[in-house]
Structure 1
Amino acid sequence: MPTDATPLIGYVVKMYPRFSETFIVTEILAREARGERLEIFALRPSDDTRFHAELARVQAPVRAIPVPRRLSSAWDGLRRAQADPGLRAAIGRHLPELLTAEPDDAVQAVEVAAQVVARGVTHLHAHFASTATTVARLASLLTGIPYSFTAHAKDIFHSSVDPLDLERKLADAAFAVTVSDFNLRHLERRFPSAGRVVRVYNGIDLPRFPFVARGRREGPLRLLAVGRLVEKKGFSLLIDAVARLRSEGVDATVDIVGDGELAEPLRRRAAGSAAVRFLGPLPQDEVAVRLRHADVFVAPCLVGADGNADGLPTVLLEAMASGIPCVSTAVTGIPEIVEDGRTGVLCAPGDLESLTEGLRRISRADYPVAAVARRARRLIEQRFDAHAQAESLAALTAGPAAIDAGEAA
């Protein structure tokens, strides 16, 4: 059990809780389970109306950092920070840096700095190399408290990413984490400071996704896909692939779980087909039930026109853990877990014929579902246990914390 003497880690996130970011909740729970003390600093209020049941298990308090909507409220925040002599001096020293940031980021960084000093936070960790890391880095400059961050996908691949900004964040961080070897190689090729990046896969809570052996399939081929309804998920391609299979006489259906900006275009693409059902967003427990009852999980990921791509979809890990055979595509880190013919079926991204053929293969009676599913489960157990990932993050965090303590002494 943590005590008041246990180091206190501040998690900086843009929005908390967020329905699509189950991996952050899983990570927080795993770190708490090993006895770490955490507090969450949320920069925006949640706009989700549904929440996962696992949120109730999180012990860390959530500190909502207000976004200043009036000059007077921003001024009040600066006045509170000025009451601390150390922060007052730091704001003066780093004023040029603060002035180069977006106003909301700068004001929120000052507020985070004031709160972490008051609460005795010893380390800051941000998720995504964008807004949350901007604020964590500025708060670190003002307080001397080390920071780290996890880089995922959009925050490093999207066309809007500023290379100079990301290099600065990498250079100033105590360490940085990314979620696949593909991401690590990408960062190492582009950024001189990427030598301090470590690959730590996102983990899952394995007991929540028990392995269920599949019997011989009878009836239609029941496909399941889960994710935000956005371009990079490739769901338009999946709808077309199901239509092709059905035109060839394969009785295939697909349930698509999720919501997003492409909801209406995707519904129009399905043209009211009874073979395609849109179930909307579902909590993680309900997704786990769907995984147990479907025949095949499909993650037809692709690289969007804006360069955006998935890192390594958490729901794909959950599916592989659950014993459902998986079909996915060779995007970013996915080939690190879906090895064609061994742990699943791997298709070419954005290629309708390749996806359709992959679904054909897995639908055949002679496809070795049992052997592939067991190999997939073993791989998830070996590489993606959330508790093992928490140990890795704790060890990385202890390094800069120990150095700082020695310097302070």
Structure 2
Amino acid sequence: MPDKPHLIVLLKGYPRLSETFIAQELRGLEKAGFRLSLVSLRHPTDKKRHPVHDEIEAPVMYLPEYLHEEPLRVLSALGKALLNRRFWALMPRFLKDLARDVSRNRVRRLGQAAVLVAEWPEGGEWLHAHFIHTPCSVAAYASAMTAVPYTVSAHAKDIWTSPDWELAEKLARARWTVTCTASGYEHLKHLAAGRGPVHLSYHGLNLSRFAHFEGPRPSRDGSDPADPVRLISVGRAVEKKGYDILLKALSLLPKDIHWRFDHIGGGGELEKLKPLAESLGLSDRIAWKGALDQLEVLDHYRRSDLFALACRITADGDRDGLPNVIVEASSQGLATVSTNISGIPELLTDGENGFLVEPESPEAFAGALEKAIRNPALRQAYGDRVEQKVRASFDYHVSIRELSTLFETAWAEWRR
């Protein structure tokens, strides 16, 4: 048998512009010699694709997003499941899960797992879920129905919005779990309580796609109305990104600072953010670019002076880990103003290579923006330092080597 398993990778949606880090990991695993079959719980909604999506060779299978939309497919799968003794062995566990989470979502994951098992990708030998919430639920149920092992990559929202009981049980059953920030790692390690291995591995960047920017970056300081400082942010317009805080901070900047702001990304909160910008008198200085592909985003980084992202922790615990867009911007020598939550301080240190403030404070964020804008030499120094850190410690080849070792070791142990 080969020393690398054929991986069935479960994804919440594929392809997604906001999950470049997953796409580059998939391609990296293919280059490392792994065969992949992708299984997505949702069809794509983005109109654009990143170049890396077209390089991924793995076939993609889409499960029924809602069971009632494909009743014949689901009934056929359940009919096969009823003949499977492992399905019946799973039922007490599923009913226990359902009692603690009485929801259609819980039933949907069992139905999706049944479809996956009934339509098993040819050659699949190992289940790996990206995100420890819903994709891992499908993987865990499918694993129980087939005795095929599963592993999981946990990220941000999936960690912080899932109940502890569910995380603990998934961690205990997984062959291993990997996550991408120290804060997430410590939380999962605590919940695992020694019952399942947890590893820390930063995603990093494919630095061949984010080469060092050799071009000039003007020393704009906001004093020239004909050449305003150019601010940029990349991210979905969702609550945890803190775009309302960023807009309020922009409105608090002194009137003698001239600026323009580009936002790249989609998201449901745009319906609220655009009227907020209008009410704050900012609309004529903001360009809402919508979703762009990776090459277009890279071009915007290189034409900008400062990156900004006002991340927060929402009421339900949702938060970013270390936003990949901050790593991307940093790779281009672009200084960042952000908040000191979650995994962000694992890359940025306030006063050394970035500008960090407490979350939920437009006043503090405005102060950091003003300092960065008025001091182009300082932000250039910070940009240089953070780029050096990215290129030294956030190369995605490192994470691919780490994942390869984890898969190969677990595969060898399971076959003994």
TM-score by length of 1: 0.91
Offset, 1:277: 1.8
1:48 match: secondary structure: coil
State how many pairs are aligned.
396
Pick from 106, 110, 115 the counterpart of residue 106 of structure 1. 110
Residue 32 of structure 1: aligned partner:
30
Distance 2:80 2:88 in 1: 15
TM-superposition CA deviations, 1:123-175 (whole Å, max 9, x none): 211111111000101111122221111111111223xx222111110110001
Counterpart-to-counterpart distance in 1, 2:183 and 2:356: 16
- Supply the AA of the counterpart residue of 1:258: G
Q: Deviations over 1:242-276 (max 9, x none)?
A: 222242x1112211111212112111111153122
Most deviating of 91-100 and 32-41: 91-100
Counterpart pick for 2:248 among 240, 247, 263: 240
Match 2:228 to one of 185, 204, 220: 220
* Cα distance in 1 for residues equivalent to 2:316 and 2:213: 38
Matched, 1:90 2:86: yes
Partners of 2:196 and 2:355 lie apart in 1 by: 33
| Partner SS for 1:310 | coil
- What's the CA shift for 1:7? 2.2
Deviation at 1:348, TM superposition (A): 1.4
Alpha-carbon distance in structure 2 between the residues aligned to 1:38 and 1:365: 48
Residue 287 of structure 2 is aligned to residue 277 of structure 1: yes
- Retained in 2: the 8 A contact 1:361–1:367? no
Change in Cα spacing, 1:8 to 1:190, as seen in structure 2 (3 Å) is: closer
1:48 is displaced (CA, Å) by 2.4
Q: How big is the shift at 1:55? A: 0.9
Q: What pairs with 1:372-387 in structure 2 (closer than 5 Å)? A: 372-387=382-397
Structure 1 residues 51 and 21, CA gap change in structure 2 (3 angstroms): same
CA distance in 1, matches of 2:4, 2:194: 31
Give the Cα separation in 2 of the matches to 1:358 and 1:196: 40
Q: What is the CA-CA distance between 1:11 and the residue it aligns to?
A: 0.5
* AA aligned opposite 2:175: A
Q: Secondary structure at the match of 1:15?
A: coil
Cα distance in 2 between the residues matched to 1:138 and 1:18: 25
Offset from partner CA, 1:175-207 (integer Å, 9 cap, x none)? 111110011122334453576211111221111
Q: Is residue 74–residue 115 contact of structure 2 (8 Å, CA) maintained in 1?
A: no
- Structure 1: runs of 5+ lacking an equivalent: none
Query: What is the match of residue 76 of structure 1?
Result: 76
Deviation at 1:104, TM superposition (A): 1.8
1:176 corresponds in structure 2 to: 177
User: What is the rounded CA distance, in whole Å, between the counterparts of 1:366 and 1:65 in structure 2?
Assistant: 50
Per-residue deviation, residues 309-338 of structure 1 (Å, max 9, x unmatched): 111111111000111111111010000001
Does 2:201 match 1:203? no
Does residue 311 of the first structure (1) align with residue 321 of the second (2)?
yes
1:55 corresponding residue in structure 2: 53
Percent identity of equivalent pairs: 33
Query: How far, CA to CA, are the matches of 1:215 and 1:48 in structure 2?
Result: 32
Of the structure 1 ranges 299-308 and 91-100, higher mean CA displacement relative to structure 2 is found in 91-100
**SS of equivalent residue, structure 1 residue 346:** strand
Q: Which residue number corresponds to residue 231 of structure 1?
A: 239
Q: Aligned pair 1:358/2:368, yes or no? A: yes
Unaligned runs of 5+ in 2: 99-105, 221-226
Counterparts of 2:249 and 2:180, CA distance in 1: 29
Distance 1:151 1:7 in 2: 20
Q: How does 1:314-333 map to 2 (within 5 A)?
A: 314-333=324-343
User: 2 CA distance for matches of 1:62 and 1:14?
Assistant: 12
Identify the residue that residue 224 of structure 2 maps to in structure 1. Answer: none
Q: Distance in 2 between matches of 1:4 and 1:397?
A: 12
TM-score relative to the length of structure 2: 0.89
